[in-house]
A and B are shown apart, each in its own frame.
Chain A
């Protein structure tokens, strides 16, 4: 006798097993997703990784000049920003992906539910003491200039926030961002470190550093030449796409 018994598995039972397995897998995945932890500043690296992966569906960001950033220790990167483009957020995510370090961005609101979600992404409040604390803690921080409607113009750089880097004694880098609303391509170009022209003992150093950053970012934007769609839209002087 070569077999003991024949076991007949009913289709209903097989379906139930499949469903139970699926439920178990889903529960396991959910557990894995929700068991993550946040760092000292409330940034959730797993959440950031998922958002970054998801953002690839929309954006294809090229980062240049990231080798200028220190491999360890704090540094402040000031980027150009276009209105509603959330440039500091996507710049922080893309620079973080390029340098392999957590990168914070300045400008999260302190209102639920947006504020906590942005905190999970690495958001900081737009306060000089908060930025200075992060820089002293050796973090890379991205802050945006005031947003403009023109993609090739840089907005005002808040000298009080830049003063955080002066207080923390960290390096400051300019960066230009460029993107097209209806295309995937985007670019972040990080320039060389900006230092004040002369040594100051008082708050003038912050003003001069902010002015220097504005000039450096404007130069980077000019060198980028603006986004090109490859369509006749490039010829329109409207919305900042093409022309000057």
Chain B
């Protein structure tokens, strides 16, 4: 029985009529074949053949992506982090997927948009017992784990690490107890590759994982936990390694920083970086759940931009920094309401690029908004407008 504090937005009949034939031919058309380079990452392709059993894996590890696009109808999908902007957007898209029979989500905060079919459970990240109870009762086929707190997005770095660890431990652990589980898709980031001196400028999925910031280490921990569980229970584990996510309602420390009126940037380096918009990320999560992603994939908007170029595009005042003055800049930025976490500081000094070409091969989709377009949109989204009350009501 569902607990009394569970908030439910679902209609009484949860099993909507599911259309036969998962996808159209047009959706399957862009599929190619997965490359033959096995990625060296924590997530190993431990693909468990799903019930549909349509994969044809040959001896050298190649498999036809076209078969991956055929999802079986009547699937139960669980989303962790459904309350956030990204989670609720993914839930909204999954509601329209014909292969999804029922959809449930867990988060500490309610979803930010109206959901028609999804069932939401309000559970704090550390509440392991209730998490296990809800997850095992739902017995999902696919788990989409989005419950990741980016430092200084909605919580300070220490709190963000704690919440992320709690959520990963309880949700992934609970999912491991579900007998129907076939696939786990986790949210990761390109921070996982690190920006150590001499490291690859634009790593692809086969690059060595060597995180050099706190957020990167958090993400590496999630991938490791998921891959360990996947190996133990024999389910496919995929990871979407996202570029910094920016969107109109996404609490992004980078977006907040770039939108300040005066923006410090590294005058000596001003390296390039890439971002991705949240609508493209949500579409990537849906595609990953549909194809039962079993490997890490970078999700990066095409193109790149430097901080100075971004500042100029946004008509902000560029403030050149040479090195030690960054300490003062961080303090002032914190006071201005845009604290700079270490992974954003690393981005400003060392840049952050990644090769996202594999997403099209594996997921069948690629981000449509380029990095420059996302940055332009960042500056065109309206700010919070504080409107005073017209008359005193109390």
Contact = CB atoms under 8 A, between A and B. Distances in A.
A34 B201 contact: no
Given A37-B303, A137-B355, A112 B309 contact: no
A38 B305 contact: yes
Contacts of B349: 112
A112 B200 contact: no
Contacts of B372: 37
Nearest to A31: B312
Interface string A97-139: 0000000000000111101100100001101011001101100
Contacts of B201: 41-42, 119, 124-125, 130
Nearest to A111: B197
Contact of A130 (B197, B200, B302, B308): B200
Interface string B295-319: 0000000111110110011000000
Contacts of A116: 268-271, 351
Interface string B328-355: 0000000000000000000001010101
A35 B309 contact: yes
A36 interface: yes
A115 B271 CA distance: 9
Interface string B202-218: 11101100000000000
A226 B258 CA distance: 53
Nearest to A30: B312
Nearest to B356: A40
Interface string A31-52: 1001111111110000000000
Interface range, B side = 20 to 34
A213 B312 CA distance: 45
Contact of A37 (B199, B203, B309, B351): B309
Contact of B272 (A42, A111, A130): A42
Nearest to A41: B202
A36 B200 contact: no
By CB atoms of chain B within 10 A, which of A38, A116, A127, A137 has the most? A38
A116 B357 CA distance: 23
A110 B303 contact: no
Interface residues of A, number: 26
Q: Which of B201, B270, B303, B304 has the most chain A CB atoms inside 10 A of its CB?
A: B201
A178 B197 CA distance: 33
A23 to B, nearest CB: 17
A38 B200 contact: no
A34 B308 contact: yes
A31 B316 CA distance: 12
Given A130-B201, A137-B357, A38 B268 contact: no
A35 B308 CA distance: 9
Given A119-B272, A125-B198, A42 B351 contact: yes
Nearest to B274: A40
A95 B272 CA distance: 24
A36 B271 CA distance: 14
B326 to A, nearest CB: 13
Interface string A124-158: 11010110011011000000000000000000000
B188 interface: no
Interface string B10-24: 000000000000000
B266 interface: yes
B266 A40 contact: no
B302 A40 contact: yes
Contact of A110 (B198, B302, B309, B355): B198
Nearest to B318: A34
A6 B357 CA distance: 68
A135 B306 CA distance: 23
Contacts of B306: 38, 42
A240 B254 CA distance: 54
A158 to B, nearest CB: 16
A201 B353 CA distance: 33
A36 B204 contact: no
A170 to B, nearest CB: 15
Contacts of B355: 40, 133, 137
Q: Give the top 10 A-B pairs by smallest Cβ distance, nearest first.
A: A42-B272, A112-B269, A113-B268, A112-B268, A38-B272, A116-B269, A34-B312, A38-B304, A130-B200, A37-B372
Given A34-B312, A40-B353, A41-B304, 10 more contacts: A35-B312, A37-B304, A37-B309, A41-B201, A42-B304, A119-B271, A127-B198, A134-B202, A136-B357, A137-B355
Interface of B: 197-204, 206-207, 266, 268-272, 274, 302-306, 308-309, 312-313, 349, 351, 353, 355, 357, 371-372
10 contacts: A31-B312, A34-B308, A35-B313, A37-B305, A38-B303, A42-B201, A42-B272, A116-B269, A116-B270, A133-B200
